[in-house]
Structure 1
Amino acid sequence: MRNMPLEKRGITNSRMVLGCMGFGGDWDNSPITSEQVLLAEKAVNAALEAGITMFDHADIYTRGKAETIFGKVLQSKPGLREKIVIQSKCGIRFQDEMGPGRYDFSKQHILSSVDGILSRLGIEYLDILLLHRPDPLMEPEEVGEAIRLLEESGKVRSFGVSNMNVGQMKLIHTYSGIPLVVNQLEMSLGKLDWLDQGIHVNQAAGMASHFAEGVIEHCMRKEIQLQAWSPLARGVFTGSGAFSTEQEKVTAELVDKMASEKETTKESIVLGWLMRHPARIQPVIGTTNSERILNCRDAVNQAENMTREEWYSLYVSARGKRLP
């Protein structure tokens, strides 16, 4: 397979990312337990065994506990920091005494958020910082200044976004002057508007789409790494049994059949299908289950060997209707 955009930039060759949203248990202010730390350590070990050396965070994940726990894991493994890539996100704020749940791309919030992230993780710099979902009140000059200050200070080495369209990415780049290296979006066999361009699936249902402006093609042209959150579609094709439609059930049966024939796991088939796309999509696997993480390790091999016919069989099945 061709190199991923992040690999071309010399940032990482990790074909997959472990999402750490589940580290820390409940999304409340309850104390961190030794059991939660142990669960995170097992997940990190499984990721490393599966060849995953990139880890994804956000300042809001379990209200900061996810980053704090990951920091404890780093402390217990001297030398690990230098061998991995750490990415985090900021820009979402919970409801508090100041107001409702909201987005905040103000310069002050971005800078203070990064300081908090670094403190919780116990590290000196982030490899990548993502702006976490669009803020309708974004002042591009402020965002640009915050990005430049973080780069100049050495606190953040590269920048990206999450859930943004082409126009939003172009606006941020114009005012920061620093190339974006990542756009993280929901993409999976169960979420197909990134392939259907929001016409056949989402717009027909009256739903908004991040993909209507050709974001996939833009990221490919600019060599911005596309990362997929929820790439396993919440387990619907790999064993959850929670089918919403008949086409999900049929597609799950096809995934199971292919996995059996190829002597691999269902997770590797689903991820391999996603990674087979020419954009060299990088899945962010959001689980703390060590067994499920290890079940993903054959995904690269499946992507490299999946035929065009096999890929389209899964695509047409998941769409629930034939292509024109």
Structure 2
Amino acid sequence: MKYYPIKNTNLNVSNIIMGNMRITQLSLSEIEKLIRTAMDEGINFFDHADIYGGGECEELFSNAIQMNADIREKMILQSKCGINTKDNYFDFSKEHILKSVDGILKRLKTDYLDILLLHRPDPLMEPEEVAEAFEELHNSGKVNYFGVSNHNPAQIDLLQKYISQKLVVNQLQLSIAHTPLIDSGIALNMNIDQSVNRDSSILEYCRLNDITIQAWSPYQNGFFKGPFLGDVENFPELNEVIDNIAEKYEVTNTAIATAWITRHPANIQVVLGTTNAQRLKDACKGSDIPLTRDEWYKIYKAAGNIVP
């Protein structure tokens, strides 16, 4: 397992994250096995959100692992807030953030979060309110560090103008079959669809500003169109290339799909959503596979992207 520091923190993190969005599908014993497997494989970072299972995922996680001080100090816990699922809107009000964090801490059976992320941009955000909430959470010891999810550069700058804490993480969608973070930079100034800048150069922005990117849905085709691994109908060439490279490294296709992301010099963390212990192990083998430049580009092109 490869580790590196999240800049502007004292956290040394695994580049593979266990995501907990789907653990309601499992029994407590199965969840415990999944967590133990993750830790045995070297994962020290666990991602949550207050909306996952309506909060049930956080509670199941802490119950399954029988959360205590000894276990807690071995984990880096991150959760997200800012979505009102009852009425289906985003809410960055001070009241909502503070209430959400108290609920998260209670469900996770911990006194503090290592990182709190704002889940999706709230167009009605008043950054002064967010600053007040963050200040209170930080001063009380409830949250050590802060970040965002699915935010563009201007949204981050607007927040950072008012809050005193450095935003250290941005969680963004990235997989071999969903690469807008990369596409327009490669095909700049060309009159093709790939050249359209859909994300305001957020990848480069995060690197310039020491913000760690976390890649969610690393095996998905687009916005929840299904996994691309094994989908030979829609991605025949991509699967053939991945399978050939997997054979070379003596790993599964899941490991190569993971390695394609971890190979990037931005030190991107990969958020796994699997509830299958073996697939989690397979993914972890991609933590530090040294894909060559030729292999990385071969995979990128096999997904249907142009390298001019």
Q: TM-score, normalised by structure 2?
A: 0.91
Secondary structure of the structure 2 residue equivalent to 1:300: coil
Task: Specify the SS of the correspondent of 1:51.
Answer: coil
Residue 317 of structure 1 pairs with residue 293 of structure 2: no
Structure 2 match to 1:31:
none
Deviates more, 1:189-198 or 1:259-268: 189-198
* Residue 71 of structure 1, aligned match among 52, 62, 81: 62
2:168 aligned residue: 181
Q: In 2, distance between residues paired with 1:47 and 1:80?
A: 13
Unaligned runs of 5+ in 1: 26-34
Secondary structure at the aligned position of 2:23 is classed as coil
CA separation in 2, counterparts of 1:199 and 1:103?
Answer: 33
CA distance in 1 between partners of 2:3 and 2:210 (Å): 11
Structure 1 distance, partners of 2:154, 2:4, is 23
Q: Is the 8 A contact 1:162 1:184 kept in 2?
A: yes
CA contact (8 A) 1:12 1:54 kept: no
Q: CA deviation at 1:4?
A: 4.0
State whether structure 2 residue 253 is matched by structure 1 residue 266.
yes
Which residue in 2 is equivalent to 1:16? 16
Q: 1:92 to 1:295 in 2, by over 3 A?
A: same
* Residue 145 of structure 2 corresponds to residue 158 of structure 1: yes
Paired residues for 1:1-324 under 5 Å: 4-6=4-6, 9-25=9-25, 36-75=27-66, 79-95=70-86, 100-197=87-184, 204=193, 209=198, 211=199, 213-233=200-220, 236-239=227-230, 241=231, 243=233, 245=234, 248-302=235-289, 305-318=290-303, 320-324=304-308
CA distance in 2, matches of 1:118, 1:290: 26
Give the Å deviation of 1:76. 5.8
Report the CA distance between 1:200 and its aligned residue: 6.4
Aligned residues: 301
Pairwise CA distance, 1:5: 4.9
Q: Deviations over 1:104-152 (max 9, x none)?
A: 0000000000000000011000000000010011011101110111000
Same amino acid, percent of matched pairs: 43
Q: State the Cα distance separating 1:254 from its structure 2 match.
A: 1.1
Measured on the aligned residues, the alpha-carbon RMSD in Å equals 2.4
- The alpha-carbon deviation at position 301 of structure 1 amounts to 2.7
Alpha-carbon distance, 1:238 to partner: 3.1
Q: CA deviation at 1:252?
A: 1.1
Query: TM-score normalised to the size of structure 1?
Result: 0.86
1:154 Cα deviation after fit: 0.3
1:64 and 1:298 mapped to 2: Cα distance? 30
| Equivalent position amino acid for 1:15 in 2 | N
What is the rounded CA distance, in whole Å, between the counterparts of 2:124 and 2:285 in structure 1? 43
Q: Whole-Å Cα distance in 1 between the matches of residues 6 and 248 of structure 2?
A: 33
Cα deviation per residue 1:36-63 (whole Å; 9 max; x = unaligned)?
2112111101111221110000000011
Checking the alignment, whether the CA contact within 8 Å between 1:4 and 1:225 is kept in structure 2 is: no
Letter in 2 for 1:51: G
